[in-house]
Amino acid sequence: MAAVSEHTSGKRLVLAPREALVAGGPAEECEQRMQALLRSGYRQIVVDLSQVPTVDSAGIRTLVRCHTTAQRMDASFALVRPNARVRSMLELAHLGSVFTIHESLEAARARQWPWGTIRLVIGGAFVCLALWWAGREWPQVAAPTVSGDTGGLVTGESSPVVQHPFVEVSKLVAAAFIGLLVTGVQRRLRREKPFTQAMEHAQVLLCVSGAAIMMIIGNSLARAFGIAGAASIIRFRTPVEDPKDITILFLLMALGMSAGLGLFAVAGLGTAFLCVLLAVLDYVGARQPRVMMVEIEAKGREFPVAHVQSVFARNRVVFEPREISQGDEAVIEYHTTMDPGVSLEDLSAQLMAGDAGVQSVSWKPPKRSD
């Protein structure tokens, strides 16, 4: 087993393998140790390669997987002092520019600033303060209310709220920045189950659409009923599984509406409150284990049970076989429970690696009855 020397400071640790990272045990054991460290909370892993004489494809795969896991969990992963042979292997695999490589442990242990998070915080603070300042400096931009029996809405089309085109465009721009900021915060917080690009774009566009709707409605009751009727024919067929995501979609729509009404101060303060609340909920919330069904298909009639179970054991996956079918190919479906930080892509790659005979791996959420 690779020796580990700890030089901890907060969530940092140095891992020092003392043998070649090759297939047949050392590479797999080193990967298992590094993945366990990342899952246990370490956020700066330094791998000292000074005593590693060589690596093969399995060793390269180990470093790539750990680097990918660290990126997904917003952690840093660095290599220190690889010898000429190891460095040439990395260059041959076109990975020299992918990894962060240091020439000394002192340089690797130096505290690295989370520049991505810092840029997000500064940009978010600027957007929220700019909206608050605009709301205070230009209160006349907000749509006026109209008193009367209709509760502040004009029933006809004779009195639209006319603003300068630049002001109208600024409302859409403000809504777009609000959507981008909230989506950026969610991307940082959803490390185990990241958003798809389509979902991220939908959040931003939903915020902009809320602003556009309120700009069109203005203070007209007739236009409000018209837009409500038009929206009723729209059907969304993409399910949103997490109730928290659905709630955020409604909040984004509300923030976009406030921008469309010209209530920039409300939009800015509401956006700041939502971003801070998301961070607080992520910090105090419990990490629930991920439950998935996996169907593994093997070549031939013999299923590699020992290989599959060893992969599950290395990644601390609790498993239970549910369905077994044998024909020209052997197929077993497992009910699995794992840490949310475990990558399904990495698990699939481990299951299909080598000559075990696994030819396909498919994951899906369990049914309600499971």
- 120 CB-contact burial (10 Å; exposed 0-12 / middle 13-18 / buried 19+): middle
Q: What domains appear along the chain, each with residue ranges and CATH number?
A: 12-109 (3.30.750.24), 115-284 (no CATH), 290-364 (3.30.70.260)
Q: 33 is written with which tokens?
A: 């140790």
User: Is 34 within 8 Å of 65 (Cβ atoms)?
Assistant: no
Cα distance between residue 85 and residue 323, in whole Å: 47
Task: Output the pLDDT for position 287.
Answer: 64
List the pLDDT tens digit at each of the 370 positions of the chain: 444 444 454 456 788 888 888 887 788 888 877 877 777 667 778 888 888 898 988 888 888 888 888 877 767 888 888 999 998 888 888 887 788 888 877 776 665 666 778 888 999 999 999 999 998 888 877 765 544 444 444 444 444 445 678 888 999 999 999 999 999 998 887 755 666 778 889 899 999 998 998 888 877 777 777 666 656 555 555 566 677 888 898 999 999 999 998 899 999 999 999 999 998 887 776 567 888 899 999 887 788 888 898 888 888 899 998 888 877 788 999 999 988 767 777 788 788 877 778 888 888 888 765 4
Encode 319-343 in three state secondary structure.
EEEEEEEECCCEEEEEEEEECCCCC
Nearest to 145 by CA among 219, 215, 224, 212: 219
pLDDT of residue 77: 85
CB atoms within 10 A of CB 353: 15
Amino acid at 274: L
